[in-house]
Amino acid sequence: MYAKNSNTVPDTVKVQSDKGSLRLQFSTRYNPVFGGKRKYQPLGMKDTPENRLKSEAIAYRIENDLLHPDWIQLFDPTFAKYGLKSQYAALQLAAPIPESEPEMTVGAMWEDYLVWKQKRVEATTYRSRYEGSYLNLIKGLVWNKKTQTFTDTGAGLFDTHLSSVNVEKWFEDSCGCLRLNRQTIAALSEAFIYLQSQGKTKLTKNPFVLDNKTENKTDVYKSTINADGTEREWWDVPDDESDNDERDRRSFSKADMVTIIDAFYNHKNASPRELAPLVEFRFLTGCRSGEAFALRWRDCFRGKEQNNIVFSRSYDGQVKVTKKTKTGDIRIFKMYPKLRDLLLRIKPVDAKPNDLVFTKLNGKSWCTNEVHEKWYGRVLKRDETEYHYPGIVTQLVDDGLIDGYLPFYNCRHTFISLQAHAGTDLFLLATACGNSVEVIQKHYLGVNPDVSFTDIF
């Protein structure tokens, strides 16, 4: 029967054998309709293979009518519509047939899941992924960097009932990169499994399984397609970088770096000037933004010669949490003259070990959004008109003083690129920046056309 093969419809009508004769058994949810008792309807047929098939067909038609939204018009309580003899059509309705409750929406499932998931992941991961990128993709929202607003693509799943989910179509229509789409589906799958464990769904099949999107793990020599549409051969090992900031390894030129630093130090307003030391520090160390936000004076001038900086923590201003570094490692950064001079110049006479190195004028720590506003600018919308107020770096681009715009995060890649091309030991550079020699060789060091092989015999 249809009910037995479906993962969305409960067993409503079953065919049973009673003392050699066939009968229909109605689901217990129809008990109120039949006066509080389970209803059995005799069919007037012996239990034979041929009659069993006929009975299954009758049950299928009755079930489809009962489950239809217009069941009152479709269902025939005399059973004449289904070909039964009148002497067996004794069904008397004591109450209206109850409508089946629809499955909850994907959004309701997700919100229920978040309550459980929040206690099992780091606060920053929960905020950025589960309340951020995953939820936005489920809702079909795309972030517009220029306008700093979300746009609804219409491809969201949030208001879709679980019984109506077409994950294959959503996977094709969704606007995220391939990696993010898969991660979101994996999270949705876990949310559904949690829902099942709570007994809050009648579905038996997980709707968030991409049966035809599984990777062929047997063909190890098969190429794969990257998120940007480029092809990657089997021998090309992907970098272990999980976010766009790390994957975008573009860098400023040395001249542009100097221009940017000078623009912050010499700005007419105090707000950009207070950010200048942090900007210079990131260009001189290549540390990640959160690591600079969390740096304290006790982390500087470490070691026997007081010549090291220790990066052991990272600050996330969105959730106001200080945690381990991105990789979980504690890194030792060896200072050099220009970096040492910067720290000595900005260190207050009365600085305490636990004081933050980089703060705003009010003494509070920086966060990514505040830096972005100084770096890129702001976009405001009034009466359907957008107004862009450029930041320091955006203005430099508009004035033609630097080659192009890059985010604040790319101070890191500028440092790594300039140091690598200057001949700095790659192992020292990789260790100090929390990277790998392989990544530096692959992404920061191009082939020098002036270099050739040396005769070895």
**pLDDT exceeds cutoff 70 at 105:** yes
Q: Which residues of the chain does CATH 1.10.443.10 include?
A: 254-443
Phi, psi of 270 (to 5 degrees): -70, -30
Instruction: Compute the mean pLDDT over every residue in the chain, rounded to the nearest whole number.
Output: 77
Strand 331-334 vs strand 385-390: parallel, antiparallel, or unpaired?
unpaired
Cα(64)–Cα(244) distance, integer angstroms: 50
CATH code 1.10.150 for 106-213: yes
Query: What are the start and end residues of each CATH 1.10.150 domain in the chain?
Result: 106-213
Q: Helices 426-433 and 411-421 meet at what angle, rounded to 10?
A: 170
CA–CA separation, 284 vs 144, rounded Å? 31
Dump pLDDT digits (tens) for 281-303.
999 998 988 899 989 999 999 88
Query: pLDDT digit string (tens) for 61-104?
Result: 877 777 776 666 777 777 777 777 644 444 555 455 555 566 78
Q: End-to-end CA distance of the chain, in Å?
A: 82
What distances in angstroms separate CA 225 from CA 107, 176, 236, 439, one per listed residue? 30, 15, 12, 20
As beta bridge partners, residue 310 has 332
Q: Which amino acid is at 304?
A: K
CATH superfamily of 254-443: Intergrase catalytic core (1.10.443.10)
Integer Cα distance of 394 and 400 in angstroms: 10
Which SS3 state, helix, strand or coil, does residue 316 take? strand
Using DSSP's 3-state secondary structure scheme, residue 99 falls into coil
Mean pLDDT to the nearest integer, 152-181: 79
Q: Is the dihedral of CA 422, 334, 414, 235 positive or negative?
A: positive
Greater pLDDT, 1 or 215: 215
The percent of residues above 90 in pLDDT, for the chain, comes to: 16
